[in-house]
Amino acid sequence: MTRISPSSPPPSSPPHADAPDDWVERVLLAGPGGEECLRFGTPVDRDALRALVAEQAERLTAAGLGPGGTAALRLPPSLGFVVALLACWRLRAQVALLDHRLTDHEIEGAVERLAPQVLVGSAQRPSAAALRGYSVVDPVAVRLPAGRPARTGHALIQLSSGSTGPAKIIARTAGDLIRELDCYRRLADFPGEGERVVLLSSVVHVLGLVGGLLNSLHAHAPLTVPDRMTAAGILATVADDDRPTTVIGVPFHAELLAGAAGPPALPQLRRMVVAGELVRPGLPAAFTARYGVPLGTMYGMTELGVIATDLDGTLNPAKQPVEGMELRLVNGELQLRTAASPYPGLDDPTRWADGWLHTRDAAVVDGTTGLVTVLGRRDSQVSIGGLKVDLTEVEQTLAALPQVREAVVVFDGGAIEAYLATEDGADQALVQDGLARQLAAYKRPRRLAFLPQLPRTATGKLLRDPTALRSAAG
């Protein structure tokens, strides 16, 4: 694989200015022509992928997209998505990723905010089958009259998942992506050449995009997306190939697999890696007991990508910062060194100032080992009658109770509320009794709502909006 060490461009530079002109070919598409690189049902080798990207680049050029242009992709997980993304980058355009599960109204709002010159969608309506892992689509580029060329030097625009509020616009340069891929290359336990990846995470968000799709292309570790995102569908995909396999997803996927009844023997399964939110206490041990391999965890942000890892599950809940990551604690908040703000057009010193990104995450850093333990969002600390309560502590305590599968705790209207998904036939009185024995009275939720399952964002993160949770609870 090719290692490139780019330099950061000035803010006024065009997209991709901090990477070589042929970085897509050198970093993502290079390799033996017959080598399998992707599998969305049918294997795709590098010669076929290169030909598809070249063909799509011609279509985008005909639609008016060129160097310094802007495109938004609204495509489901598919070979079409991969081809369209790489073709846009090959043309040195700036690309915004829109989750295909957003409503037309939400897409209209995002397009108004981002003002892309070209919107790439699907000629076919994506499959509506429940839990479908991927679709077969033909990307179609539509020129938007109100679109504007790129105003920054970023190659990628993403929207945060919005689990706690409106999505933020987050931007990264081509050099940022290359540096993150080099970071993954230095992680000994992350998939590399001769291995394969089964990807469960969304490709429009950072783990699925960079840690999954882009790293698989760069590291020559073929990527497969299951036909169905059920426990049976995922396990069948792992079993379908003898090569050492890593599964990449979010904690929800690990919960799903840990609860699978009678899974088959999977000697090729090397580990599962999850990120996106805190892992429930007991889940790593439950997963390892079921499959005999580690449940690795990562901490990262859309703004920077991977920040710290525990890929073999020996440090949990602590993680080792990746090489070159400079971090500090300020009043209990984890802050990360970055050369520039990842928020284009936003001048907010509470998010980024003087070369430091404010994560808004509470953490502890071991002064001897440098290991970092993320405790949860800083805004999870509330005051009840003058006493401080950490909602993350309450949530983790609830999630660790025997009959509770998952929990979300919020603070609204001056009171703590908890929303629980419990095992079938769970005794609610026993849950309440367990909570009373483990938490002081002032920490206990005023309201406990029991649901068959908790609502999630499109990316699988637990929803934390009090109004939406209350609506789900009926």
Output the pLDDT for position 398.
92
If you average pLDDT over residues 391-409, what whole number do you get? 89
Q: What is the DSSP letter of 367?
A: T
Edge-to-edge order in the sheet of strand 70-73 = 139-143, 118-122, 70-73, 94-97, 156-159, 169-172
Output the pLDDT for position 280.
86
CB contact burial 163-179 (16+ within 10 A = b; e otherwise): bbeebbbbbbbbbbbbb
If you average pLDDT over residues 8-32, what whole number do you get? 87
Q: d(Cα 306, Cα 183) in Å, to the nearest integer?
A: 8
Q: d(Cα 270, Cα 288) in Å, to the nearest integer?
A: 11
Q: What is the pLDDT of residues 81-113, one digit of tens each?
A: 999 999 999 999 999 999 887 778 888 988 999
Q: Are 170 and 302 in contact (CB under 8 A)?
A: yes
Q: What is the pLDDT of residues 45-86, one digit of tens each?
A: 999 999 999 999 999 999 999 999 999 999 999 999 999 999
Going from the N-terminus, what domains does the chain have, and what CATH number goes with each? Answer: 23-180 (3.40.50.980), 385-472 (3.30.300.30)
Question: Which residue type does 377 have?
Answer: R
pTM of the entire predicted model: 0.84
Q: Which of 179-188, 352-361, 370-379 has the weakest average pLDDT? A: 370-379
Q: Are 322 and 306 in contact (CB under 8 A)?
A: yes
C-alpha to C-alpha distances, 172 to 202, 232, 427, nearest whole angstrom: 18, 36, 48
Output the pLDDT for position 3.
46
- Bridge-based pairing state of the strands 70-73 and 118-122: parallel
Cα torsion 129, 134, 136, 138: sign: positive
Q: What is the pLDDT of residues 323-349, one digit of tens each?
A: 999 999 999 999 999 989 999 887 788
Output the pLDDT for position 138.
95
What rounded mean pLDDT belongs to the chain?
91
**166 pLDDT more than 60:** no
Q: What is the pLDDT of residues 210-266, one digit of tens each?
A: 999 999 999 999 999 999 999 999 999 999 999 999 999 999 899 999 999 889 999
For the chain, the distance separating the N- and C-terminal CA atoms, rounded to the nearest angstrom, is: 53
Of 380 and 23, the one with more pLDDT:
23
